[in-house]
Amino acid sequence: MHVARLLLFPGLLGILATPLAAQRHWSIGVEVGKASFNGHASATVNSVETAAHPSPATTFGFRVSRTGTRVAFSLGVLFASTGVRFEDEDIGAESRDILGLVEVSPQVSFVLLRPREAAFRVHLGAVLDHWSPEGASTRTSLGGVGGFSLGVPFSSRVSVEARWEMVLTGSVFEEGELPPQFGLESGWSDRWVLGVTYRL
């Protein structure tokens, strides 16, 4: 009897472990998005220009994810080329294609709702931005990211995800790079992303 139980117990563990393991999987994805930037620098005295920040940009990236039933972990890398925009309330002037951005972002996400086969998630994480200005030294800044996504399966292995996120970082500028009437401040980015994910 004891021998039968000893033989039965590993078998039951194997049966239970199979669906539990199937609930966790690796996936890779490619993403394209649109980012707008605000903050970064503003005029501290009366000036024709009142703000300076990176221009809106198209972003490209890829992401590796480890997904469970309710929680997922991911590491994303984003690339963008953009410019610098000086503006006031009515008009703006832009220097195009003088900033390169590489961003690394580890994130954790939690399922809030599961409408049918889809998954509505909330995302939280950190970002490391590496900026490469034309004719100036590179610089990095740390920040945080939060947002929401809706993932819809297209097949057993392929799914499509739409994501909105807000990123908060330090200024892309350094002291002395802008006219003296500007003061540096935190920057934030509002982003919409569309991704295609393949389950491994």
DSSP secondary structure string for all residues of 49-97: --EEEEPPEEEEEEEEEEE-SSEEEEEEEEEEEEEEEEE-SS-EEEEEE
Percentage of the chain modeled with pLDDT above 70: 84
pLDDT of residue 161: 97
Residue 123: per-residue pLDDT: 97
Provide the token pair at 186: 């935190």
**The predicted structure's pLDDT at residue 100:** 96
Whole-number Å distance between alpha carbons of 106 and 52 = 28
Q: Where are the domains positioned within the chain?
A: 23-199
Average pLDDT, the chain: 86
Q: How many CA atoms lie within 13 A of 120 on its CB side?
A: 5
The torsion angles phi and psi of 171, rounded to 5 degrees, stand at: -70, 145
Identify the residue with better confidence: 87 or 143: 143
On the question of pLDDT at 31 being above 70, the answer is: yes
Q: Is the pLDDT of residue 1 over 50?
A: no
What pLDDT does 10 receive?
Answer: 39
Rounded mean pLDDT, 83-102: 84
Residue 23: band (very low, low, confident or very high) from pLDDT cuts 50, 70, 90: low
Average pLDDT over residues 16-44: 79
Fold held by 23-199: Porin (2.40.160)
pLDDT digits (tens, 9 = 90+) for 113-130: 998 889 999 999 999 999
Residues 142-193 pLDDT 10s:
999 999 999 999 999 999 999 999 999 999 999 888 888 889 999 999 999 9
Q: Count the residues in the chain.
A: 200
